[in-house]
Structure 1
Amino acid sequence: MSLIAQFADHLHRPVPTTLRRRAALHLLDWAGCAVIGATTPVSRLLSNILLTAPQGPCAVIGRADGVGPEAAARYMGALGNIYEMDDVDKRARLHPGPVVIPAALAAAQANGADAEALLTGIVRGYEAMVRLGRALGDAHYRYWHSTASCGTIGAAVAVASILGMDRDATGHAVALAVTRTGGLWETRNDPRSHAKQVHNAMAAGDGWLAAVMAAGSLRGPGGILDGKEGLFAATAGNADPSLILSGATRDGWCLSDISLKPWPACRHAHPVIDAALALLDRLGQTRLLPGQVSSIGIQTYGDALRFCDRPVPGTVIEAKFSLQHSVAVTLLGGPPPLSAFEPAAIADPDTAALRTKVKVAVGEPYESRYAARFGARLAVTLSDGTLLVQEQDDALGDPENPLPDDRVAAKANTLMRAAGMSVNEVDRLTEECLSLADDGPVRLSWPVRIGEGVQ
């Protein structure tokens, strides 16, 4: 059997009920991220382009009328990552929810699928996307936005599952999806770029299309992953194809390994945020005063510096990708809300002054443990000479340091309320998401009118 055929066989295993229940929680987490994302200027630009086709069976945020499944997958696929609060697999270093879930929802609504089929498709889509990301490894992640480059495959597998496609057709859906993969990290070097959202939109929509094409008997190249001119050869010099089919997971499925993010910043900044909060807790204080701090030292892993060493952030997205800003706002204000990364917080004189006192470096054991573990060491020297050191082995929300289910729901509720939804609207959408685990209807009450987000 070809690698793709073996992969398709792996993906067709029965999905346990416990994993479908977990998938419903991830759907709620994504829903909160997508609703707040829909309040932003980039979402309106995308809606003007992606939601112009005739009406269809798929509900989307901000519209009373439904749209077609491809338009729904693309538009909703763009929304979940905007606020940087989407779920993440730390070993693959990608965000499955924002791509897999919109494609799965579009397929389920367009084809009248039930909740079991939807959640099963989500679990399988996560499995495909995460396993490919882990197999591609460091050389791929160095240049490629893995959420996009692997997301097309995750979306295709989720849709193929919902459509009831057999192993052979699923393999061809994967092959066709791989031929459309893309998304380069150069987008993070231009603060004006909207390409990160475009990457996700294209991955969700192209994955949906690849599955539909395979269902219509179109075929893809069987060696597209490991062939001499395939994805591994072209984009990942140190790829480990064995990780497509093997590699330890908590219960046999990658969904159990996925982390949920409590803070509105790049995941690489979360260990230092958690360390700062733990330090405040040790002191019995909710915040430090600006004059109390003489210097701050951060030791962490190399990718955290590569993505998030920004001592002077100038925009919201740069602040979310700044270790210096993340630790400063946390030490000065406690658990960082959405507003902690907004222009007013960036320009705050006390925050700006504290950022200048932060030094960052790669350190052990964080570098050698990465990417299996996301950790950091925070050393704060107070103005009286006292040295406070806090080690953070695992970020909050990782499987080793899990975010409780009620906090996941509270996070989604907070994001929905920040988007302008009423309490009743929030409660209804929350219940609709979670009730899918008990075979509730695949009918989510997206807000038709939403406010301006804090971004």
Structure 2
Amino acid sequence: MVHVDLGELSRRLAEHVVQTDSLPNRELLTAQASLIDAVAVSIAASTLTPAARPFLEVAMETSHGASAIIGFGERCSAPMAAWVNGALAHGIDYEDTHDSAIAHPHAAAIAAALAIVDYRADAISGTELLTAIGLAGDLVCRIAASFDVSPDTFGWHVTPWLGVFGAATAAGKLLKLDANQMIAAWSLSMSQMASFGELKYSPLSDVRSVRDAFAAKAGVLGAMLAARNVRGYDEPLGGKAGFLNGVARNQYQPARILEDLGEKFLGAEVSFKPWPACRGTHAYIEAGIAISRMPGFDASKVDEIEVVINQKNEMLCVPEEIKRAPENAIGAKFSIPFTLATALVKGEVAIASFEPDALQDPKILSVAAKVRHRLDPNIPLRATTKGSVTVRAGKDEFSHSVEKALGHPEKPLGPAEHKAKFDDCLSYAARPFSDKTRTQLWECLNQLHTLNDARKMTALLA
């Protein structure tokens, strides 16, 4: 086990970030795939996340600058561009995720990194951009994987807390901070953040969908201030009242943060979502689609449905009355009963599955009302994509179990599936792309690791 001096934890991580100039080819190309995925789902969110438009309006009213805003085709200051891009990053819950760390490592980080591309005076190469994204994703996953108990248990909503470290790391790396400045960037970014679990009890809240806006903006501002030598905390992560003690309440394993540092990049182990919903629903969506194709299955004849879940995924089943009939898209995406019922009735789950008419579909709501969950304490906390579904219809029973949901590195999406997701997402852009520009953007993103100037990519976004 790696020895960890908590008084030096932040410094060891900061030195690793600033001293790493490139990633291995596999990790670099995975960071590129994460960027492509993030750009696509953010573009779709420009029309599918109504709460994101006020972010755009405020940004345009209050700032001027060169940084590209995804999907809307506008430009503004770097912090405000990160703010809007962050509001889009999780808007339709379609971005990549690290299944076992239980983290969205790139949402805020990519929103922040893209804002810096047009802010920095000199050109940022594609490799430099992807390295910053890869390092940020790795750090987020390492922190998330260290928890013995989710900080959500203590009333936090931890995803944006993690995101602020990713955003500050990506922005700080691109601004060429030294180790002292990187530590300051984390400190100054943390100082702008608060993320509470109350949103779980407010089903009509927009905060869950736009949450990464605040982390992305804080990360960019923190890095910009650190570049001007504003000092932060000595030990923002491992200090007596730093992030890990304050948010995780000492229930974490710091050795996990440093294990194989520089040799293994956890951000390259992400899963890419085949369905636009919380990753915890995916085992049940996959099982539902499989059952819908079984001989003799008829969704209209279903009597009872049992889903087996772990403790983490219980939040996707309760309160039952809300999860069986969610009132908005983001609520439906965080519902095992609704997403499973959609899979059973329609045989698929797509972006259109969360449009207003779909949320009122009586066939889907009827099936969702029949879903009952059973907690299995033997399923580990981090096995969030493991689950099973049993459907009873008269004398017939249909069952399907999933160990690791589709999209996991061991069950990856194919090139055609990635391209289909990209094209589908771009069809929802607030400022439509011509066929020519769409092709150019796809080609540019896939060649990003070879480009000397990443502004060739952001020019196509704006």
Query: Normalising by the residue count of structure 1, what TM-score does the alignment of the two structures yield?
Result: 0.90
Which blocks of at least 5 consecutive residues in structure 2 are unaligned? 1-6
Return the letter of the residue paired with 1:344: D
| Residue 31 of structure 1, CA deviation | 0.9
Return the letter of the residue paired with 2:299: P
Task: Determine the structure 2 residue equivalent to 1:404.
Answer: 414
Return the letter of the residue paired with 2:15: D
2:13 alignment partner, one of 7, 24, 33: 7
For residues 179 and 313 of structure 1, the distance between their equivalents in structure 2, rounded to whole angstroms, comes to: 34
Deviation track 1:308-366 (CA, whole Å, cap 9, x = no partner) reads: 4312222222211111111111011112111212222222221121112211111265x
Q: Give the total of aligned pairs.
A: 441
Q: Secondary structure at the match of 1:2?
A: helix
- RMSD of aligned alpha carbons: 2.3
| Residue 188 of structure 1, CA deviation | 2.9
| Residue 7 of structure 1, CA deviation | 1.2
For residues 195 and 66 of structure 1, the distance between their equivalents in structure 2, rounded to whole angstroms, comes to: 24
Task: Determine the structure 2 residue equivalent to 1:173.
Answer: 185
For residues 71 and 278 of structure 2, the distance between their equivalents in structure 1, rounded to whole angstroms, comes to: 26
Q: Secondary structure at the match of 1:403?
A: coil
For residues 93 and 128 of structure 1, the distance between their equivalents in structure 2, rounded to whole angstroms, comes to: 13
Q: Is the 8 A contact 2:105 2:137 kept in 1?
A: yes
Task: Determine the structure 2 residue equivalent to 1:252.
Answer: 264
Q: Is the 8 A contact 1:100 1:204 kept in 2?
A: yes
Determine whether 1:23 maps to 2:31.
yes
Q: Which moved more, 1:321-330 or 1:302-311?
A: 302-311
Determine whether 1:34 maps to 2:42.
yes
Q: Which moved more, 1:415-424 or 1:293-302?
A: 415-424
For residues 234 and 147 of structure 2, the distance between their equivalents in structure 1, rounded to whole angstroms, comes to: 18
Determine whether 1:359 maps to 2:368.
no
Q: Is the 8 A contact 1:269 1:308 kept in 2?
A: no
For residues 70 and 38 of structure 1, the distance between their equivalents in structure 2, rounded to whole angstroms, comes to: 18
Q: Is the 8 A contact 2:332 2:354 kept in 1?
A: yes
Q: Is the 8 A contact 2:181 2:227 kept in 1?
A: yes
Task: Determine the structure 1 residue equivalent to 2:100.
Answer: 91
Determine whether 1:195 maps to 2:195.
no
For residues 127 and 435 of structure 2, the distance between their equivalents in structure 1, rounded to whole angstroms, comes to: 28
Q: Is the 8 A contact 2:163 2:215 kept in 1?
A: yes
Q: Is the 8 A contact 1:295 1:357 kept in 2?
A: yes
The equivalences for 1:30-179 within 5 A come to: 30-39=38-47, 40-61=49-70, 63=72, 65-111=74-120, 112-142=123-153, 143-179=155-191
Task: Determine the structure 2 residue equivalent to 1:392.
Answer: 402
Q: Structure 1 residues 402, 284: closer, same or farther in 2, change over 3 A?
A: farther
Task: Determine the structure 2 residue equivalent to 1:186.
Answer: 198
For residues 353 and 248 of structure 1, the distance between their equivalents in structure 2, rounded to whole angstroms, comes to: 50
Determine whether 1:228 maps to 2:234.
no
Deviation track 1:426-445 (CA, whole Å, cap 9, x = no partner) reads: 22222221110222641235
For residues 447 and 167 of structure 1, the distance between their equivalents in structure 2, rounded to whole angstroms, comes to: 32
| Residue 277 of structure 1, CA deviation | 1.9
Q: Secondary structure at the match of 2:61?
A: coil
Q: Is the 8 A contact 2:68 2:461 kept in 1?
A: no
Task: Determine the structure 2 residue equivalent to 1:316.
Answer: 329
Q: Is the 8 A contact 1:51 1:75 kept in 2?
A: no
Return the letter of the residue paired with 1:387: E
Task: Determine the structure 2 residue equivalent to 1:275.
Answer: 287
Task: Determine the structure 2 residue equivalent to 1:452.
Answer: none
Q: Is the 8 A contact 1:313 1:346 kept in 2?
A: yes
Deviation track 1:285-322 (CA, whole Å, cap 9, x = no partner) reads: 8xx53333222111021221223431222222221111
Task: Determine the structure 1 residue equivalent to 2:3.
Answer: none
Deviation track 1:234-277 (CA, whole Å, cap 9, x = no partner) reads: 2212122222212799x600112211111111111111001112
For residues 377 and 206 of structure 1, the distance between their equivalents in structure 2, rounded to whole angstroms, comes to: 40
